[in-house]
Structure 1
Amino acid sequence: MNMELDLYDLTIIGGGPAGLYSAFYSGMRDMKVKLIEAKEELGGRLLLYPEKMIWDVGGVTPIRCEQLIRQLIQQAKTFDPAIVLGQEISYLERLDDGTMIVTAINGERHHTRTLILAIGYGVLKPVKLDIEGADRYEVTNLHYTVQELDCFRGKRVLISGGGDSAVDWANELGPIAAHVTIVHRREQFGGHEKNVKRMYESTIDVRTSYALTQLHGNEVGDAIAAVSLAPVDEEGQLGIEKERLEVDEVIISHGFRGDFGPIIDWGIEVGKWDIPVNEHMSTKLPGIFVAGDSVNFSAKVKLIAGAFNDAVLAVNSAKKYIDPEAWGMARVSSHNSIFKERNKSLGVAEEDA
């Protein structure tokens, strides 16, 4: 029965930056590859922030998330990997010959020699605002992500949160909104230092040691017209005195909860947010490797650039697992014959390639 399935050298589970770069780099290693993504589109966590500007990818000038996603997908397709969308992987079976079959929730099966888990934090769900009745405003002006910046143009915007996303959205919306107020329960923000400094130097109204405590609806009751803010003391207790602030839009950035789903039952060691691996991105299960946000090892870098490095290490380990005599890494693109014909199609002379 298993003979009817095509056997792949590598199957990548997850279509975010780590998974997409794994698909590209495994092509450089001349591997037969399949990428499986649970959603109906590629991009992973980047899909949550399509209009955010990305500054920290090497060799790439400031770029919006949506454009970076398009470029990552284009690069991933360089060597024509099989790409499967809308399938959440549930079950793992190891066969007598050491190969594996992974089965999706819909019953479709995939045969592979090795696996790379590029699943980020699993299925992400935003931490909802813990205020009674808040959910009624989710269809109007209560947001858990920013899809289009222009929707906030000329508006009075309140942002609640203190991490990277809250700070980034404040900086992005500051120049186009009528007024931006950011509220954080703590004195210090958790975002990148440079971005936090930029926020403080702008016209953004920064309220630290304050919390959003109440939403006030408009006359019709279908949208938020104002909010109440309360001071927070060093023990995290709310003060009695409240301030009312009129707003047009409210953005909640209190983080996400991740769920690794059925993969936790495979026998892989799994933490609350990540999967422990060694320096080769190897799990305790043979032939299964990890890349991206789900990785936990001592030198892990929580940047997109770090995800690319994880992908390279994981693919190299998968290649060596299949063929112990294989080179430890792919030859660099400037000296890799696999790009010879592709360079010609780009009009690059052989001596320049």
Structure 2
Amino acid sequence: MLDSACYDVTIIGGGPAGLYAAFYSGMRDLKTKVIEYEEELGGKVNVYKEKTIWDVGGLPPTSGAQLISHLIDQSLTFHPTIALGEQVIDIQKMDNGYFQIKTDQNHEHYSKTIILATGYGILRQAKLNLEGAEKFETSNLHYTVKDLEQFRGEHVVISGGGNSAVDWANELEPVAKSVTVVHRRHHFGGHEKFVTRMRHSSVDILTPYAIDDIKTCPDGCCIEQVGLKHCENGKCQWRKTDAVLIHHGYQPDLTFLDHHPQDLQVEERRLRTSNQMETAASGIFAAGDISNHASSIPLIAGAFTEAGLAVNAAKLYIHPEADRYARVSSHNDRFKKSKSG
């Protein structure tokens, strides 16, 4: 294998951590590739393109779609290679110290270092566990929101208690005729400020309840009512609805971790890392939700910092004599080259 076929850094995952790592890797003058399972970049943010993101430094409240667009534009500054629609199924370290990365498309990629930015893995959305419910996914049973306006003036029932359920309740409250949130526990897992906002709005909160049954409209093409069962006393009630949103979380698929280099330390489907984003496997680094270290902050802003740390560690792994970090953009020659090229 020729060095020309080998990248300095291969980033597995094209979400916020992976995209910022691609940008920062270019700042460090590293030959970079990104491998993403989906056919589009953006990672989990693609699930909530219409939601407002408040907690990224330097940005006013921004929609998920806008954030993805900005991240992609930034990531392409130094022209990394992008491989879409490929799932990594195996990683092996070769005798020459480089890595061979195999994907489900029968492709082999070669890299001196790897940055794992896979988040919680390929996201398989948890579905409404009622027989025959899937046929309503083409009418009024939803697992994501692509356009808030489609719910204007409607009675909406949301099932779930995490960030997505809470955030969509707040987003839809001024748009829909009514919003009802159903959660099987009294406690909500969303960010405190937004849970408080929901509780002080017109959103009708039913806890501890779960959707237990559905009634269809006369022609059987859509859901007209949902049966809600109290999770403690078993009592049921019916609620009329025009649309049902299910946010029961995701079932992560991290298949490649079943075939990882043996010295990676996997803990509850996350990787133990140092504060410099080094995994236990030499030459493999991690950033974002897949990394597990004492100082992690579970925010997109935290993923950006981890991405930079991972790239710096990769740079020093390849070139031990290099500077510990990149010069700031106003003094970095890479930007002059980018403008002239």
Give TM class, smaller chain. Answer: over 0.9
Q: What is the CA–CA distance in structure 2 between the aligned matches of 1:304 and 1:256, rounded to whole Å?
A: 18
Contact kept, 8 Å, 1:121 with 1:293, in 2: the verdict is: yes
For residues 313 and 166 of structure 1, the distance between their equivalents in structure 2, rounded to whole angstroms, comes to: 32
Residue by residue, what CA displacement relative to the aligned partner does 1:289-334 show, whole Å, maximum 9, x if unpaired? 1111111111111100011011011101100100111111111112
Q: For the residues of structure 2 that align with 1:136 and 1:283, how far apart are their CA atoms?
A: 44
Task: Give a deviation string over 1:156-196, Cα, whole Å, max 9, x none.
Answer: 10001111000000011111111110111111211111111
Q: Do the aligned residues in 2 keep the contact of 1:5 with 1:110 (CA within 8 Å)?
A: no
Q: Once structures 1 and 2 are overlaid, which stretch shifts more, 84-93 or 53-62?
A: 84-93
**Structure 1 partner of 2:286:** 290
Return the match for 2:309 from 302, 313, 326: 313
Counterpart position of 1:153? 152
The 5 A counterparts of 1:69-218 are 69-218=68-217
Per-residue deviation at 1:62? 0.5
Write the distance in 2 (CA, Å) between the matches of 1:62 and 1:198.
Answer: 16
Partners of 2:174 and 2:221 lie apart in 1 by 28
How far apart in 2 are the matches of 1:112 and 1:308? Answer: 22
Q: CA 1:107 to 1:292, structure 2 compared with 1: closer, same or farther past 3 Å?
A: same
Q: Does 1:280 align with 2:279?
A: no
Q: Name the SS for the 2:102 alignment partner.
A: strand
Q: How much has 1:93 moved relative to structure 2?
A: 2.9
Say if 1:13 and 1:35, in contact at 8 Å, map to a contact too. yes
The 3-state SS of whatever aligns with 1:79 is coil
Aligned letter for 1:241? K
Q: Distance between the aligned counterparts of 2:101 and 2:228, measured in 1?
A: 49
For residues 107 and 131 of structure 1, what CA distance do their matches in structure 2 show? 37
Partner of 1:52: 51
Retained in 2: the 8 A contact 1:5–1:111?
A: no
Instruction: Tell me the matched-pair count.
Output: 339
1:298/1:221 CA distance change after superposition, 3 Å: same
Residue 133 of structure 1: CA displacement?
2.4
Q: Percent identity over the alignment?
A: 48
TM-score normalised by structure 1 residue count: 0.92
Tell whether 2:332 aligns with 1:332. no
In structure 2, give the amino acid aligned to 1:242.
Answer: C
Paired with 2:285 and 2:117, the residues of 1 have a C-alpha distance of 9
Q: Which moved more, 1:329-338 or 1:43-52?
A: 329-338
| Rounded Cα–Cα distance in structure 1 between residues aligned with 2:89 and 2:58 | 37
What's the TM-score, normalizing by structure 2? 0.95
Shift of 1:5: 6.0
- Secondary structure of 2:303's match? helix
The one-letter amino acid paired with 1:264 is D
Residue 134 of structure 1: how far off its partner (Å): 1.8
SS of equivalent residue, structure 1 residue 138: helix
Partner Cα distance (1:254, 1:112) in 2: 37
